[in-house]
Chains A and B, each alone.
Chain A
Amino acid sequence: MKVSGVATLLLLASGASSAQTTNDPPLVVQSVECRGNRSTSCEFIRSHLNLAAGMPVDEAEIRNAQLRLSSVRNFEAVDVRLQRGTQRAAAIVVIEVTEASLITTESVAGLSSRLDSTRSVFATRVAHHNLFGGGETIDLSGVAVTPFAGDAHDEDYQVHLRYADPNLFGADHFFGIARLSWMNTRRQDIYGNFSDFEGPEIDLRVGHRFGAFSYVTFGATFRPKLDFTTGEWDGPGDFDVNVRHNHYGLNIIYGWNTEDDLYFPTRGHSFHVGAGWDFGSGSPANRSHIQYRKTWHVNDGLLTLKLGGSPSPEYRTSFEESQLLSVSYSQALQASDHLKRGRWYVEPGVGYTAGFTPDGDRIYEVGIKAGVRLDTTSFGIVDLYLMGTRDPQR
């Protein structure tokens, strides 16, 4: 018999045991109590345990509830124990929680050489996730892409302040997001295609969540002081320079997400598609209008297909560099006292840039990214990577 078979049999044989020996009367739940919860209601905690007063104590269900509660981002640790009730056959189920820090951080450090531009990439983000006690989030993030070598130029500096209300006007299914940003982005490739954007941006969104995993958002963008110029080869001998004046933008986005984790997905997929006038107020950042990601198990690792980068770029103000279409292979790293979880990954991919060559040819890139993503106890989520791409036509 295989190891797993033996182990499973063993678990099944023992898993149904109650907290009493066979000679004792079966234990009954006298009550379910919560400890350690300051900002989370006991009702919310109890809702994860399918046991109530008067029901037999079911150890398997208690362990399952402990795991379910452990998956909830509200808690850093969950401990369940029994206490003597008023009678011998009665037990009090005590759920003791350690609430998670409401402040989270995320950092990215990378070095990438893409299409004749070599640059460093640094991004950081700090967020508070329960500003007024109702799950309101406020976060501040910054991105710095600084070129230091190469014939092309790719420079990007961004600061974002975002506020999100998960229950807009108290409604269960509606949410709202307001973002204030300042961006300074300048790009120029070796053919002369360029984009130069500088200015503040205000973005307001209202979203509706429906079904099991779907959502739709309606957004409006305002750029009060815009300095935005682009120049692109549109065809052989045809170079267009545009000073853009779109101070306003409107957009609609539909998406769903069944992934089990944003940073370390092991299953499920996410998708979103957007449309509108001047869709993607972050268009100077060259974000994709379509995004899809799906993850599969492959032997000891995970295979992830990505189209248009990582999920939820319409909400995230953090930065993740990737190509338009990529396939990533990753494996888990050993957790330790300092590392909650982690993965190394390699990610080959392909893409193309805006603009053409003076001969009218599309500019493509192929390349590979490799790095580690860590969920650390001290620094939050940390991404470290190297990336290199080149134009396959040259």
Chain B
Amino acid sequence: MRVLIPFLFVFFAASSFAAELVPLRHNEHLGARVQANELPDGFRRDLTSGLTNRLMIRVTLHRATQQLHTRSVQIAVRYDLWDEKFIVTTQLDGVGADTVDLTDVQQVIQRLQEIRLPELFSMSAVPADSDVTMRAVVLLNPIDRERMDAIREWVAQNSNRSSLDPAGVLGAGDMSVSNAIFNRIFEQYASGSDLASAWQRTLTTKPFRAHEMPKEAR
């Protein structure tokens, strides 16, 4: 057993990252900053794929264990192959698109690493007499349950028939060298998530008194 303990420790050690969620008060709103948001390896290349990359941030406000409010922010980045520019669109709860054009991939990376969300919750809806916390789940290119269910159905019918194993039952007894990304998504649904993504991070603020925070200029 002594041998197993360090062995298990190696496998259970979660990958560390230094991203941070910091509350801010702007006008009469409570907002947040996602700082030092580390993006996955290969994301820089994905940005120039010509396909739209979406970063979804679900921010929830909590008092103790009670969830008070939720906002969803989506930042969509698409690279125009002909004009060679990045079109970055930000939406709050699916409305109010704010679009900006950027020419350099580094500008996009910086924008996604330091995300400022100034007006998430109205201060009037935030408790004045108790500590609150904010939690942000950051998902890259999330997949909703309905879409994943359709893909899972396809996998169930076809995964046994890959070119390496057309007979199927051989593989069923032997191997599953499925992509790690696919499996991660799979496991998130297995654990009850409604949205899943190959890359996601969860950030939480320390408890704070929103009404005692200084107002921050933009």
Contact = CB atoms under 8 A, between A and B. Distances in A.
Interface in A172-212: 172-175, 177, 207, 209, 212
Interface stretch (B18-26, B31-39, B49-57, B208-216): B49-57
Interface in A8-51: 8-14, 17, 19, 21, 40-41, 44
B58 interface: yes
B12 A333 contact: yes
A262 B173 contact: yes
Contacts of B76: 14, 17
A362 interface: no
Interface in B163-194: 163-192, 194
Interface stretch (B87-95, B104-112, B113-121, B122-130): B87-95
B154 A68 contact: yes
B64 interface: no
Contacts of B181: 70, 77
A172 B166 contact: yes
Nearest to A10: B94
B184 A209 contact: no
B82 A74 contact: no
B169 A7 contact: no
Interface residues of B, number: 83
Given A70-B178, A260-B155, A384-B4, A209 B169 contact: yes
The interface residues of chain B, by DSSP majority, are classed as mixed
27 contacts: A8-B146, A10-B56, A10-B74, A13-B91, A14-B91, A40-B163, A73-B162, A73-B164, A79-B45, A104-B174, A127-B174, A135-B165, A173-B167, A175-B170, A207-B169, A212-B157, A215-B167, A259-B172, A260-B186, A261-B178, A312-B169, A331-B191, A335-B183, A336-B14, A372-B8, A374-B11, A384-B7
Interface of B: 4, 7-8, 10-15, 42, 45-46, 48-52, 54, 56, 58, 60, 70, 72, 74, 76, 78, 80-82, 87, 91, 93-94, 141-147, 150-152, 154-160, 162-192, 194-195
Given A14-B74, A340-B183, 7 more contacts: A11-B56, A72-B159, A77-B179, A81-B46, A261-B178, A262-B175, A341-B187
